[in-house]
Amino acid sequence: MKLSQFKFNLPDSLIASTPSENRDEARLMVLHKDSGKIEHKIFKDVLDYFDDKDVMILNNTKVFPARLYGNKEKTGATIEVFLLRELNKELRLWDVLVDPARKIRVGNKLYFGDDDLLVAEVVDNTTSRGRTIRFLFDGTDEEFRKNVEILGETPLPKYIKRKATAQDKERYQTIFAKHEGAVAAPTAGLHFSRELMKRLELKGIEFAEVTLHVGLGTFRPVEVEDLTKHKMDSEQFIIEDRDARIVNKALEEKRRICAVGTTSMRAIESAVSASHTLKAASDWTSKFIFPPYDFSIANSMITNFHTPESTLLMMIAAFGGYDNVMNAYEIAVKEKYRFYSYGDAMLII
């Protein structure tokens, strides 16, 4: 398929810049992939589509406050450093993006916080905006993390044109987040409230967890018309044996298995055994899913509404059927569904 087949007109007014008042009260579009039928619901109605022993696969990655603002030595110029991933815990080496990139060179020292709570040195260039930095910090790892927590800002995507607030710290995080390492939230999971999780549990729905640390590659635009030539960024994922067993039992019993979000889907499709079951894994994936594609594990999926021409929309089209999904998106725009991270949800069954 071609990149241009995933274009659609999205008015700026439909890009959600704040979350719905209650997590489970965003709108929910239900797409039946066999018939193309569409229903309009509220997210907590998701309960009606699942039964005893069905399984939902959740991504339990935790977003860390990855955006730091500081000053450059000597000039005092304000700089933004976006922490991408920790390369070496002992040496406190991190891969980061910097802004303005042209002013930040190898050897520069960067200062963060009123009392220079953290100081870092630029040790290498990686890409045009990428650098490797070393934090010069003598305390424990726990103290270092606490300082990042104090100084760091919730890494809202750039298309949300406002500063992060205290509310974002809570709402740009799923209620089941456990393992820190993501620089963007697995947004389909943001719609689950504690009350809804309890109600799903009481109905007999089981939860399996995977960890996929969402990287900024999630937002990277596709720049080639021929999709086979696009390369995805690698993301780290972990699937424990216990969770693989829960999913495989449901597979065997032909239950409904729902991947909550594109990140959960990407993780499980990166860990399919030769016999088309889910295997425990701890690895990195650069898997790019676009139509046509045969999915091995999940037979339903919950997702948000994505950007035109994004890899996320391409995965959804592969799962729900290209014509079905593009038609659903046309209806979503007409019905004024809210798009992106803080937007509304879609259930594909």
Residue 69: pLDDT band (50, 70, 90) is very high
Q: What letter represents residue 118's amino acid? A: L
The β-bridge relationship of strands 235-239 and 281-285 is: antiparallel
Cα–Cα distances (Å) from 65 to 81, 213, 332, in that order, read 11, 14, 32
Contact 104, 72 (CB under 8 A): yes
Q: What's the mean pLDDT in 63-68?
A: 92
CB neighbours of residue 209 within 10 Å: 21
Contact 94, 85 (CB under 8 A): yes
- Listing DSSP states for 89-107 in one string gives TTTTEEEEEEESGGG--TT
User: Most distant CA pair in the chain: distance in Å?
Assistant: 66
| Per-residue pLDDT at 98 | 93
Per-residue pLDDT tens for 235-276? 999 999 999 999 999 999 999 999 999 999 999 999 999 999
Tokens of 201: 């549990």
Whether pTM exceeds 0.85: yes
Tokens of 338: 């809210």
Per-residue pLDDT tens for 134-163? 999 989 989 999 999 999 999 998 889 888
Lowest-pLDDT range, 16-30, 66-80, 221-235? Answer: 66-80
Q: What's the mean pLDDT in 332-349?
A: 97
| Per-residue pLDDT at 328 | 98
Q: What's the mean pLDDT in 279-305?
A: 97
Task: Tell me the average pLDDT of the chain.
Answer: 94
- Listing DSSP states for 205-240 in one string gives -EEEEEEE---GGGGPPP--SBGGG--PPPEEEEE-
- Listing DSSP states for 8-48 in one string gives ----GGGB-SS--SSGGGSEEEEE-TTT--EEEEEGGGGGG
Element (H, E) at 167: helix 166-171
Phi and psi at residue 325, to the nearest 5°: -70, -45
| Per-residue pLDDT at 161 | 86
| Per-residue pLDDT at 346 | 98
Q: What's the mean pLDDT in 232-236?
A: 92
Per-residue pLDDT tens for 171-189? 999 999 999 999 999 999 9
Residue 290: pLDDT band (50, 70, 90) is very high
Residue 29 region, left (φ>0) first, then alpha (ψ -120 to 50), else beta?
beta
Q: What domains, with CATH codes, occur in the chain?
A: 3-63+170-348 (3.40.1780.10), 67-153 (2.40.10.240)
Contact 82, 96 (CB under 8 A): yes
